[in-house]
Amino acid sequence: MRAESVSRISRNAATGPAAGGGLLRHLRLQEGARAMTEATETTGSAAAAPLTPCVLVIFGASGDLAARMLLPALYNLAAERLFPDAFAVIGLATKEIDLAAFRDGLGRAVRERLGDAFSPEAWAALARRLYFVAGDLRAPETYQRLQARLGEVAAAHAIGGSALFYLSTPPSLFGEVVRRLGEAGLTREDGATWRRVVIEKPFGHDLESARALNREIAAVLTEGQTYRIDHYLGKETVQNILIFRFANGIFEPVWNRRYVDHVQITVAEQLGVEHRGRYYEEAGALRDMVPNHLLQLLSLIAMEPPSSFDPEAVRNEKGKVLAGIQPMSPEEVLGRTVRGQYGAGAMPDGAAAAAYRSEPYVGADSAVETFAAAKLLIDNWRWADVPFYLRTGKRLPVRTTQIVIQFKRVPFSPFRQTPVDRLRPNRLILRLQPDEGISLRFSAKVPGAAVRIGTVNMDFCYSDYFGSQPSTGYETLLYDAINGDATLFQRADSVEQGWNVVTPILDVWRALPPRAFPNYAAGTWGPDEADQLLARDDRAWNNEA
């Protein structure tokens, strides 16, 4: 890209929350692994703004999430030079750990996660900002020690009083930790000093528990202090959905019931439950994935254009979509949902896979689903009568997250006197993982004298155009939470609306235990009933990864 082009873009770039918040920030200049041509135009700010000075406190700092995701994400932010000098991290865990051992342990975890991208020098700069507090999360004296350590760390790094508390704890402790923080005065804001709390999923286990947890948190925190995280929304392609829809004039005009036949959202995992048997026995596929990940993707695909990229404007439109999803009667649950559990089988690479009931910490007669699918309808002008098919499962043939927008077929009449006997519908596929990108399927004439139609794909891969950068998906979310941008976080009403969709399904499944589990072999695309769910509507799942 020419230097004068970069200069022009930089002069015109919108920066900071006042100019539209985090979503506009993500339109920043990037150079691809494959050189971009001079005709390629990139708009947006040339660099992200530095983080706001604060202390980040991680509850559950000795856990798996902190080691595999949060600290590598912080390392990546530090590598991008987004940390101010006035920044530090306090880890809090139950067991006492020597500070040097705490830093060394996290350093090994980050090195293992990042591989060749790991720089000992860059880690050393971050490690010097790491501190530790031990204590029982239910004990008031733990929060007194935390308050004292916060003061010491803030003074050492000239930070001031702002702090972000990240709850990487068992869900049963969310409400209690927030209450203890409030009792210790740790959530009190004063002038420019802010205090925020990030809460991991699952946020409740049904509608009533989510409402109760919201009430418990609201007794201590304002909604503006509460950041309910969904790590799926940290993926670049997820954020790109809004840019793709609302920054391109060729797609939004056909993004409605007149042109779209149906939408498919698939989150497929090759892995089984691994070491998460205890959690999965309580949750299951539906609770684990649908109220948060899949419904958040649905809301981004189906929402109306917001008046701006202001966080509340975006979240208002997403909330309207969730509120418009048709509630299902018990009879409709039986006809429009499918559940499954994997049995023994073989994965595509030939590796044998044990049945779910043989996994550690899983009951020998478990009725918990490892696969869930549903047909949802949205009651609004844009999407009336357009089905949204959702599915998620473990031990499927591939690991993929994708959204398929299938358009209606064109009239066949012009091809009546030709050998063409069937027209394939156009499909737009947004791939969220593992190879993030977008592809468009359409028809073209096969060369030759006869009229023959072939299907071709226009394919865009993020790594080809913008390069591949090490990322856990938490970088954006941590950045936004620290800088006070709530666009990618769930609001209280959104959480409850998600559970409002799922709870009727849970109620029917609880009342009618499955009779045929396991009903799909590991390494297949789930139970036959999932295919029949679409076949009854003369449709089929897209099983191309």
For 361-383, the pLDDT digits (tens) are 999 999 999 999 999 999 999 99
Q: What is the pLDDT of residue 214?
A: 95
Q: At 261, which helix (H) or strand (E)?
A: strand 260-268
pLDDT tens-digit series, residues 166-178: 999 988 899 999 9
- How confident is the model over 217-226, as a mean pLDDT? 96
| 57 contacts 130 by C-beta, under 8 angstroms | no
End-to-end CA distance of the chain: 33
Long-range contacts of 328-332 (CB under 8 A, 24+ apart): 328/504, 328/505, 329/504, 330/504, 330/507, 330/508
Burial class (CB in 10 A: 0-12, 13-18, 19+), 39: exposed
- How confident is the model over 114-119, as a mean pLDDT? 86
- The more confidently predicted of residues 224 and 41 is 224
Quote the tokens at residue 162: 């702002």
Res 76 pLDDT > 60: yes
Query: Which residues fall within 8 angstroms of residue 266, CB to CB, at 6 or more apart?
Result: 390, 391, 392, 400, 401, 402, 403, 404, 541, 542
Res 10 pLDDT > 60: no
Strand partners of residue 460:
438
- The more confidently predicted of residues 23 and 471 is 471
Res 255 pLDDT > 90: yes
Q: What is the pLDDT of residue 4?
A: 32
- How confident is the model over 448-454, as a mean pLDDT? 67
- The more confidently predicted of residues 480 and 420 is 480
Query: Which residues fall within 8 angstroms of residue 258, CB to CB, at 6 or more apart?
Result: none
> What percent of the chain is predicted at pLDDT more than 70?
85
Closest C-alpha among 23, 16, 156 to residue 88: 156
Res 417 pLDDT > 70: no
| C-alpha 393, offset from chain centre | 16
- How confident is the model over 106-111, as a mean pLDDT? 91
Look at 124-128, 197-201, 470-474, 539-543 and tell me which has the smallest mean pLDDT: 470-474
Would you call 484 helix, strand, or coil by DSSP?
Answer: coil
| 405 contacts 425 by C-beta, under 8 angstroms | no
Res 117 pLDDT > 50: yes
Distance CA 145, CA 134 (A): 9
- How confident is the model over 236-240, as a mean pLDDT? 73
Q: What is the pLDDT of residue 198?
A: 96
Q: At 453, which helix (H) or strand (E)?
A: strand 453-461
Give the CA diameter of the chain.
84
Res. 467 pLDDT band, cuts 50 70 90: low
Quote the tokens at residue 484: 């006070």
| 456 contacts 442 by C-beta, under 8 angstroms | yes
Q: What is the pLDDT of residue 192?
A: 84
- How confident is the model over 493-514, as a mean pLDDT? 94
Res. 70 pLDDT band, cuts 50 70 90: very high
Distance CA 228, CA 251 (A): 31
pLDDT tens-digit series, residues 328-353: 999 999 999 999 999 999 999 999 99
Look at 107-121, 150-164, 230-244, 475-489 and tell me which has the smallest mean pLDDT: 230-244
Distance CA 401, CA 72 (A): 22
Residue whose pair of structure tokens reads 């913008």 in the numeric block: 466
Res 216 pLDDT > 50: yes
Closest C-alpha among 340, 327, 314 to residue 239: 314
Would you call 226 helix, strand, or coil by DSSP?
Answer: strand
Q: What is the pLDDT of residue 432?
A: 85
Specify the amino acid at residue 214.
N
Closest C-alpha among 48, 49, 30 to residue 40: 30
| 220 contacts 179 by C-beta, under 8 angstroms | yes
Planar angle of CA 14, 17, 23, nearest 5 degrees: 70
Q: What is the pLDDT of residue 421?
A: 58
Q: What pTM did the predictor assign?
A: 0.85
Distance CA 4, CA 6 (A): 5
Q: What is the pLDDT of residue 469?
A: 64
Res. 208 pLDDT band, cuts 50 70 90: very high
Q: What is the pLDDT of residue 450?
A: 66
pLDDT tens-digit series, residues 273-299: 888 888 899 899 999 999 989 999 999
Res 395 pLDDT > 70: yes
Res. 445 pLDDT band, cuts 50 70 90: low
Res 428 pLDDT > 90: yes
Catalytic residue among 26, 157, 262, 293: 293
E-strand stretches of 275-370: 337-340, 342-343, 345-346, 352-353
Summary mean pLDDT of the chain: 85
Closest C-alpha among 372, 200, 205, 341 to residue 272: 341
293 in active site: yes
Res. 523 pLDDT band, cuts 50 70 90: very high
Residues in the chain: 545
Q: What is the pLDDT of residue 532?
A: 97
Quote the tokens at residue 395: 């031990």
